[in-house]
Structure 1
Amino acid sequence: MPADLAVIGLGPYGLPLAQAAVAAGIPTVGYRTGPEAGSLSPAEVRRMLAQGFRVTAAPAELGRVRTAVICAPAPRGADGAPDLSQVEAATRTLAARLRPHTTVILESPVPPGTTEGFLRELLESESGLRAGRDFHLAYSPHRLDPGNRDFTPANTPKVIGGLTSACTESAAAFYGRITDKVVRARGLREAETVQVLETNFRHVNIALVNEMAVLCHELGVDLWDVIRCAETKPFGFQAFRPGPGVGGHAVPQDLTAHAGRPLRMAELAQEVNSRMPRYVVQRAAALLNEHGKSARGARVLLLGVTYKPDLADQQGTPAREIAIRLMDLGASVSYHDPHVPSWNVLDRPVPRADSLYEAAAGADLTILLQQHRTYDLQGLSVKAQLLLDTRGATPTGAAHRL
């Protein structure tokens, strides 16, 4: 059966979109843009394949669909701006096979103006077709919360912005088959800027609560109790919680080249959040010192090295920097994670603990970096010689909290 939809890029943005489309009964083909780490489990992928999902390496198949969604990654480059090289490669591959009346949608996180400028020019020059006349062009910010069972593509509103009103309606008709609600933005740039606002909202608020964590520790205040009380306010407050750093695929966007100046608040948030792995190691060294031990030679066990609980995805995980800094202090580092069978840091394998409780009992310090559902934190707090909880997940008084 020919596919209605081509998802170009099967990483953290594309694979969940393909999963939602397949679940909605849309014949879907996936096209890989390179080595990509998706957020779905092998069992979920097998179910998709059983429902008719196909993965192809043949670019010609991209010219046989009615809708093509580009979901190539756009990671933060050395200059802090998104690296669009994979988006460009995916666009060129599609453009060479683009047929009239196709709806092309970009979901990759890009600076405002990218779809109308960079993407449109590539598609038109390579295909000889005109956007808005020969094919539809739209942007839709991805809204993913991997592992969240309450909010799925079906019940998460989808924002759409098109080059023309007809482009918007064509994209809305496609997403209307997947989600319960479609929200129409005024245009491409508005839709792109939704992604910028949502991503930076998360980072700015995490930065605020991370700074509060440092301050409250210095003041001897229980931040976790402060958050518990504050979140009872029914208006004007949304609870965020501190952690060892901010991971994930949605990096803060740099608008310097497009808006003429950077988002200063986003820059400060990035600065604060990037300091958290160093702060965790400082707290770890201080705890060891308080208990008569030096970081040099200490056995430190890291629990949970993924960026999100109950997932195998390690994109941007702060665990890597924390492990490096601990090693630099001379600590002997090991790890436990039910979702990560092996883990390398600086091209060296980190020893994996097979028995969690035995490892915690034998370690001078255990650091909880990610609260996977399988962890019995009450039992762990009893077994561990010294436990630093960076997530506030252990029972009150059971561990030293961030």
Structure 2
Amino acid sequence: MGVVNSKLGSKLLEKINSKRAIVGVVGLGYVGLPLAVEKAKAGYHVIGFDVQKKRVDMVNAGINYIGDVVNEELSDIIGHKKFEATTDYDYIGRVDAVAICVPTPLDKYQQPDVSYVISSTREIAKRLHPGMLIVLESTTYPGTTEEVVKPILEETGLRCGKDFFLAFSPERVDPGNRHYNTKNTPKVVGGCTEECTEIAAAMYRNVLEGEIFKVSSPRVAEMEKILENTFRNINIALANEMAVLCNKMGIDVWEVIDAASTKPYGFMPFYPGPGLGGHCIPIDPFYLTWKAREYDYHTRLIELAGEINNYMPEFVVERAMKLLNDHKKALNGARVLLLGVAYKNDIDDLRESPALKVIAHLEEAHANIYYHDPYIPNFTINNREYSSIELTEEVIKNSDIIIITTAHNCIDYQWVVDNAKLVFDTRGATRDIADNEGKVFKI
């Protein structure tokens, strides 16, 4: 463990270790709410901040809206007054440590939008007091903590590493993962000074079960998070390109991947699909491509992977069109049923879902589009509202083609195949399904 020598640092560290510190979490979404719940469960008094009054009211009523949070745990910590939520940022003046967990989307030019980070930091700066810890958790480009957050906080006249402590610790949230969650996933922490790092690490040690891995700076921690998701982005792009090529060559890409996976070293399986979804993998690599321009460097591999993955929804619709054509049916006017619109199986998250892009291409082709998703009852795209329909035998039989865009485990795919005219599986959900009539086609 590192050494905390300053008077303010030692005092804050003692409050953290004794659980007397009051902890704030700004942003109560997929990252912030699970983190706030874990901190409250660990024994801290937690104040959650969010600009959405609906979220705040639900939290204070003990009503959960995030899949990775256990309903009973939220109700319990609210009932025992260990956790409260508010839209009033003045309460930040009461906290000893605060984590920033706000969205960091891309704008229409594929450039990082850190406006939520900036506005949250400004609100914190208005209430910043000596001996306070601030940790940015929002995924962003390397340099954000020191180049954006730190200067705003130091406009107060207080100095980082002397009067307050600042660190970056990237969120690692995988919605729907039944093995790894906020509590048991290893945490990376990088502070602006060694003391900043040690104090932030102490906070996480007192909350989480996963290993706390300290790095030398916020920039290293910011870059490692980008590397994590860029690694996945590029390897998924390779799987997608292999799928396109295997289709042209009449080879089953899923069988190829299964065979390659038998190698006990040097290979890690990634799987093709209709495109990338979620807030991280489709977006994070572009933070790096944008930042790289500052250093006159062109991230060719990353951008090429993005092109391949972005092409997949179009490829899915092109394939569906050819399959229908082979069955003497035009896509224009065809009844197309999509199974699943969430970006991954068994969750209710639509963010960046490739199914939405598939729908947009189907709309352009004037198909009649329906969907079934037990996790997503309705949504709106291109000013058109869609609602999930009941998956009945009649619905399946009346569909000209069924496209599996999300492989939810609660669906009986054998039953779907038995009753369907034509199934296009983009997720490998039917790999072990009997298809005696040859009506199932995989990506």
For the superposition of Structure 1 and Structure 2, which TM-score range results when normalised by the shorter chain? over 0.9
Query: Equivalent residue of 1:350, what SS?
Result: strand
2:276 corresponds in structure 1 to 246
Specify the SS of the correspondent of 1:280: helix
How many Å apart are 1:222 and its aligned residue?
Answer: 1.1
User: Cα gap change, 1:2/1:313 in structure 2, threshold over 3 Å: closer, same or farther?
Assistant: farther
Give the letter aligned to residue 303 of structure 1: L
Q: Alignment partner for residue 200 of structure 1, among 225, 230, 236?
A: 230
Q: CA distance change for structure 1 residues 24 and 167 in 2, over 3 Å: closer, same or farther? A: same
Offset at residue 186 of structure 1 (A) = 1.3
Whose Rg is larger?
Answer: 2
SS in 1 for 2:91: helix
* Higher mean C-alpha deviation, range 26-35 or range 373-382: 26-35
What residue identity is the alignment partner of 2:261? E
**Alpha-carbon distance in structure 2 between the residues aligned to 1:131 and 1:242:** 45
Give the TM-score normalised by structure 1: 0.95
Q: What is the DSSP-based 3-state SS (H/G/I as helix, E as strand, rest coil) of the residue aligned with 2:28?
A: coil
Aligned equivalent of 2:204, options 169, 172, 175:
175
Question: 8 Å contact 2:167–2:218 — kept in the other structure?
Answer: yes
CA–CA distance in structure 2, aligned partners of residues 234 and 325 of structure 1: 40
| Equivalent in the alignment of 2:5 | none
Alignment of 1:318-337 (within 5 A): 318-337=354-373
1:48 & 1:3 partners in 2: Cα distance?
Answer: 20
Alpha-carbon deviation of 1:41?
A: 3.4
Match of 1:63 in 2: 93
TM-score, length-scaled by structure 2: 0.86
CA separation in 1, counterparts of 2:233 and 2:126?
38
Matched with 1:84 is: 114
For the residue of structure 2 that corresponds to 1:236, the secondary structure is coil
The aligned runs of 1:239-318 (5 Å cut-off) are 239-250=269-280, 251=283, 252=285, 253=287, 254=289, 255-318=291-354
**1:276 is matched by which residue type in structure 2?**
M
Structure 2 Cα separation of the partners of residues 209 and 172 of structure 1: 37
Indicate conservation of the 8 Å contact 2:377/2:387, yes or no.
Answer: no
Which residue, 219, 222, 228 being the options, matches 2:258?
228
Give the corresponding residue for 1:75.
105
CA apart distance, 1:356: 3.8
The alpha-carbon distance between structure 1 residues 75 and 317, as it changes in their structure 2 partners (threshold 3 A), is same
Secondary structure class of the residue paired with 1:367: strand
Which residue number in structure 1 is paired with residue 411 of structure 2? Answer: 375
Give the 3 Å change call, closer, same or farther, for CA 351–96 of structure 1 in structure 2: closer
Cα deviation digits, residues 347-377 of structure 1 (max 9, x gap)? 1122532234332111001111001121111
Instruction: State the identity %.
Output: 41
- Aligned equivalents of 2:418 and 2:116: distance in 1? 48
The alpha-carbon distance between structure 1 residues 42 and 141, as it changes in their structure 2 partners (threshold 3 A), is closer
- Cα contact 1:39–1:311 (8 A) shared by 2: no
| One-letter amino acid of the counterpart of residue 341, structure 1 | P
Is this contact kept in 1: 2:374–2:388, CA < 8 A?
no
**Partner residue of 1:400?**
441
How many residues are treated as equivalent by the alignment? Answer: 401
Q: 1:44 aligns to what?
A: 70
Counterparts of 1:357-368 in structure 2, within 5 Å, are 357-368=393-404
What's the C-alpha RMSD, in Å, of the aligned pairs? Answer: 2.0
2:185 to 156, 167, 178: 156
Contact persistence 1:336–1:356 (CA under 8 A):
no
Query: Structure 2 vs 1, CA of residues 115 and 219 (structure 1 numbering), >3 Å: closer, same or farther?
Result: same
1:111 corresponds to which letter in structure 2? Y
SS at match of 1:343: strand
Whether 2:385 is the aligned partner of 1:385: answer: no
Taking the aligned partners of 1:76 and 1:3, their CA distance within structure 2 comes to 35
Quick one: which amino acid aligns to residue 372 of structure 1?
H
How many angstroms apart in 2 are the aligned matches of 1:281 and 1:257? 34
Q: Quick check: 2:402–2:424 contact (8 Å CA) kept in 1?
A: yes
Question: Tell me, which stretches of 5 or more residues in structure 2 are unaligned?
Answer: 1-18, 56-63
| Residues 192 and 24 (structure 1), Cα distance of their counterparts in 2 relative to 1, 3 Å cut | same
Structure 1: 5+ residue stretches without partners: none
Q: What is the CA-CA distance between 1:130 and the residue it aligns to?
A: 0.8
Q: Residues 36 and 178 from structure 1, CA distance in 2 versus in 1: closer, same or farther, beyond 3 angstroms?
A: farther
C-alpha contact 2:133 2:200 (8 A) present in aligned 1: yes
8 Å CA contact 1:16–1:39 kept in 2: the answer is: no
* Gap change, CA 1:56 and 1:87, over 3 Å in 2: same
Larger CA deviation: 22-31 vs 141-150: 22-31
